[in-house]
Amino acid sequence: MALSKRTACDHLRYFAPGRTASIRLCDLYEKPILHPMTTTRPLLYALLWLLPHMSGAQQLQTGAHMTIPEGSAVYVNGNVHIQESFSVSGTLFLTGNLTDHSGMNAVGGRVVFGGQGGVQVISGEASTCLDHMEILPGASVHIDAQKRLTVHGLLTNHNGPDGLLLGSAAGSTASLIHYSDQVYASVQRYVPGSEDIMYLLSSPVLEQPIKTEFCSGDDLFFRWFEEAQTWVNIDQEFIYPTFTIANDGADYFLTGHAYMVRYKVTDPDEHIRVFSGLLHQGTISYTLSRKAIHLDQYPGYNMMGNPYPSAIDWSASEGWGGKEHLENDAPIHYKSAWIWNNDIKNFAVINPAAKTAGHNETPPYIPAMQGFWVQAAPGTDNEVITMDDRVRVHSDIPWHKEDVSDSLPGSVMSIVVTAIDKPWRDEVLVEFDHPLDGGASKMFSPWPGSPQLYVLHNEQPYSIRFVRNMDEPTTIQLGFTAGTYGEFSLSASHGKQVARKIVIEDKKSGKTITLPHEEPYPFTGGPDDDPQRFTIHLIR
């Protein structure tokens, strides 16, 4: 029987009970393998039928389609690099890194990480889907900050929070969708530090302590208390409401809730905060509050948090429960949620009925560890809203947004106000030929000086306005609040089906401007301006 030790890549065809597969092995095998050109090939086939696995590769790189059949196992004492399609119905056991650029798919199979004493990294440009994943005792697996991993079946981590880490960097955060309970992990979150940056932060793990990882020194940490319409500082323990009262007596992140934070840091390493513990999974419940009196500015506004280590889809048709308890001016599937966009110092609204990809640069996905607002309807105090794994999606959004196409659907008009020499802006959308009336309500920014733009209809301010008939209305009343004295500009764009000239009348200056055929309209504004100084005329 001839033996050989190979150093060049070659294809080895191996057999398992009832199956065959072709793989490409690279670099040096730990053990000699049978040369495929020997006259003893029938004996080799017989041996491989008896053995349930093939072992010995230090590196494995797929240059063509590869399948590990059911009942078979491939042991790789090194790295696996996937460039082409790779499916696993058997078992892939590796001690090195897994890099997937093509979209690995495991159907009924297992991927086992068994490196001892080192870190094994899951990376690659593609989304990787596994049926079962196991991290053996002594192994540690890190999911790269740009990686999206789904484990449909059993995810087992034998090493507690140190055995599984989800990475995060300035531009991206690892995304994990899983369906197993009792999975421990450490989850990183990159949080920029600056005095003018506030974030709404939630925890992907159970009972994450707040101090000292998430609040120490000059950090600011607040809880919204709907009953008193106030933010409560974590150090507030002598004035009602205390933080203990506002946080239901807990000194940790409440599941499904969010907190407003500000971190002032200069060391890049300090931008990374780490959640450590039992990952949230399955059904998560949030109890709504509607205790504020009706004269308060924000009665019924609740700050929820994404509890999963992946993004969630507010517009998902399945997986949400209790949305009927939210603001009552829209059908159940069209309730709104609001996300703070710190870059423009304004809220973006998500409404499943909207035709556009995103208002204020925000798609209908809420990032991992991101807070968001909902409004409980009158009479819904202590009602419950739920979400489950069906709302989870992979969407690598830095905090509140991702790239949203500049193109608009044919029957939609966008109007934007921008503060000159500042990145602050706001947007309203008008969607014609819509099956619904109403729209998505405006949530006003608390940031001093941030311009506010909205459409008024029946004295109700909207960020997104639904209009049934393309021919009506002929005028739209814009609401505008400057916040502070400054220079601003108005611009407008629309889809091809809005075959109407857009004319903006400025009652304060007496000017009439046609958009978008002219340059954006510059103007001066201040807090004492009439909020209804602008009227839009739509002319055939």
pTM for the full model? 0.87
- pLDDT score of 3: 23
- pLDDT score of 193: 74
Q: Which residues of 502-529 are buried (b: 16+ CB within 10 A; e: fewer)?
A: bbbbbeeeeeebebeeeebbebebeeeb
What SS3 state is found at 356? Answer: coil
CB 94 within 8 A of CB 76: yes
Report residue 9 CA to chain centroid gap. 40
Give the residue extent of every domain in the chain: 3-158, 199-273+282-393, 412-539
- pLDDT score of 138: 94
- pLDDT score of 361: 81
pLDDT values of the chain reduced to their tens digit, one per residue, 540 residues: 222 223 333 333 333 333 333 344 433 233 322 223 333 333 333 333 334 455 455 677 766 678 889 889 999 999 999 988 888 999 999 999 999 999 888 778 999 999 987 899 999 999 999 999 999 999 999 999 999 999 999 999 999 999 999 999 988 999 999 999 999 999 999 987 776 788 899 999 999 999 999 999 888 999 999 999 999 999 999 999 999 999 999 999 999 999 999 888 777 667 899 999 999 999 999 999 999 987 888 899 999 999 999 999 999 999 999 999 998 766 777 899 999 998 899 999 999 988 886 799 887 899 999 999 999 999 999 999 999 999 999 986 555 444 444 556 678 889 999 999 888 999 999 998 888 888 899 999 988 889 999 999 988 999 999 988 777 778 899 999 998 899 999 998 887 777 677 889 999 999 998 876 668 899 999 999 999 999 999 887
Sign of dihedral through CA atoms 201, 205, 210, 214?
A: negative
- pLDDT score of 488: 95
The C-alpha atoms of residue 465 and residue 462 are separated, in whole angstroms, by 6
Full DSSP string of 51-120: -SEEEEEEEEEESS-EEE-TT-EEEEEEEEEESS-EEESSEEEESS-EEESS--EESS-EEEE--SSSEE
Nearest to 512 by CA among 490, 493, 496, 495: 490
- Give the pairing of strands 53-62 and 73-82: parallel
Residue 199, exposed/middle/buried by CB under 10 A (0-12, 13-18, 19+)? buried
Which residues lie closer than 8 Å to 403 by C-beta, 6 or more apart?
none
Full DSSP string of 467-513: -S-TT--SEEEEEEE-SSSEEEEEEEEE-TT--SEEEEEETTTTEEE
CB 248 within 8 A of CB 256: no
Nearest to 392 by CA among 275, 279, 524, 301: 279
